[in-house]
Amino acid sequence: MLQLFTFLLEKFSLLFNFKLFGSSWSDGEDRKGHAPRAPPQPLRRGDLLEVPRTLFTHFGIYLGDNKVAHLIPDILPVLTLDRKLIGSVITNKRLIFGVIYRCATVRVDTLEDFAYGSNILVNPMDKIMKDQALANEDVAKRAEKHIGATPYSLLWYNCEHFVTDCRYGCAASLQTDKFCKCLKSIIRDQRCVAVTGLLGIVSIICYGMAPSTTLPTILIPFTLWMAG
């Protein structure tokens, strides 16, 4: 039992220490008082900007004149065509419903609003990506072409996919890769078989012997055992 508890604690800590991907904006009143932290070097049009947040890292493309293009989940483009309303500050409710509905918008905001008081890293992925960065002007133009409503996927097309597609010509997300590796390590851990089997037995005891409880109790541990 102690081993089972240790296993659960270990896996939950892995997930909570992992930075989620995407973007999160607070309501307008929560954004006050966050002074922007300028990058160490002057920004150039087409630079890839990265800002760490509490649970994730957010990305954008610098367009010059203190403007940044970035992808963020937003439900409002589905509900209205009013550009003024869509251009207003994205609240948490708009963001959450955008994630659920899988709808986002590539919008242009000021550097201060984009950074939200965080340190700005400039072109940090140039040393990581295998593909060379495109010319800065081409990067900016590619970002500007995407401005407006766009499909969204937390795993397969988020803000990091957007900027890597603009700057390197191929959409990729290191945060997604990290999450998938973490999930794979959990699935392949044979202790998952014991955990799911135990939960299945508990469900049978609580809800009785039925196909809805018996089949998952057998199939899920068996699938995890085969995957490991």
Nearest alpha-carbon partner for 49 in 223, 167, 222 = 167
Per the annotation, the verdict on 159 as an active-site residue is yes
Strands (E), the chain: 48-52, 57-64, 67-73, 103-110, 121-122, 148-151
Amino acid at 24: S
Distance CA 102, CA 85 (A): 19
For 1-20, b/e burial (b = at least 16 CB within 10 A) is eeeeeebeeebeeeeeebeb
Sign of torsion over alpha carbons 155, 156, 158, 164 = positive
Task: Map residue 223 onto helix, strand or coil.
Answer: helix
Q: Tokens 């057998």 label which residue?
A: 218
Residues 159, 170, 182, 206: which is the catalytic one? 159
Backbone φ, ψ for residue 35 (5° rounding): -75, 135
* Count of residues in the chain: 228
Structure tokens at 70: 């970035």
Q: Which residues are catalytic?
A: 159
